[in-house]
Structure 1
Amino acid sequence: MHFRVFYLINRSGECVSSASAVAMSAKAICEQMLDRLQSEDDYLGIIDDSDHILQVLPEPDHQRYYVEVPIDAAKASYGRYVDRTELEDLVRTLPASFDEHSIPGLTYRPW
């Protein structure tokens, strides 16, 4: 299954906007993107076929990542913290469509 990804890798200045998102498989995301998320200013967005987004935001000081499904209309997101192993497992088993019910353990957080 392929997704589209957008990202900012602050250290190298690499940036791909959501409008220019590139196709990647879950395996390629794990192999090519996750190691690059090293700064709290980095992020990774994964877009499903329905244009729903799963964002991955690293928190290197705490050795964890915040994964969230933003709900722009509600000015909120559903998310949770994961460690690296959980992040890889999550990405490798992503459902075809993202929402607050398709990814276990997400909780509501207003912006």
Structure 2
Amino acid sequence: MGYQAFYCCYKTDEVVSPEEACEMDLNIAGDRILELLQGDDDFFGLIDEHDTTLQFIRNGDLIWMEIPIPDQKGSFGKHIPIDEVGPLIAGLPSRIDLNDFSEMRFQSW
């Protein structure tokens, strides 16, 4: 099993909720995310086979990338430039591991 994707692009009105996430190859996801994150508050998320989520939300020219940790009532996250998003997704391993994102900082909800 690969990754499941969910997203919302307000400009094109394309929406797939996390509950309805669809299977998506990472190479396709790397391209689709740039098509979907067109404006502020557009988001895109990937769920691995262990139900770990990596999600992105656009805020101007920056993307907020985070891994929610519901048991800790918060998320580990950081801002990245939009041009880093596609290559980051295309290069993800088969499992999302917080240790692969050492610069992320915890924020409570």
Q: Normalising by structure 2, report the TM-score.
A: 0.88
> TM-score, with normalisation over the residues of structure 1?
0.87
Which residue does the alignment assign to 1:97?
Answer: 95
Deviations 1:34-71 (A, max 9, x none): 222122221111011111100101112xx110100001
Ranges in structure 1 where 5+ consecutive residues have no aligned partner: none
- Identity rate, percent: 28
Q: How does 1:15-94 map to 2 (within 5 A)?
A: 15-60=15-60, 63-94=61-92
Cα distance, 1:92–1:24 mapped onto 2, change above 3 Å: same
Instruction: Point out where structure 2 has 5 or more consecutive residues left out of the alignment.
Output: none
CA distance in 1, matches of 2:17, 2:32: 17
Residue 49 to residue 19, structure 1, CA distance change in 2 (3 Å): same
Give the Cα–Cα distance (whole angstroms) in 1 for the partners of residues 52 and 12 of structure 2.
27
2:107 aligned to which of 101, 106, 109: 109
Greater CA deviation, 100-109 or 67-76?
100-109
What code does the residue aligned with 2:57 have?
L
2:8 is aligned with 1:8 = yes
Aligned-residue CA RMSD (Å): 1.6
Counterpart CA distance in 1 for 2:100 and 2:67 is 10
Distance in 1, Cα, partners of 2:82 & 2:42: 15
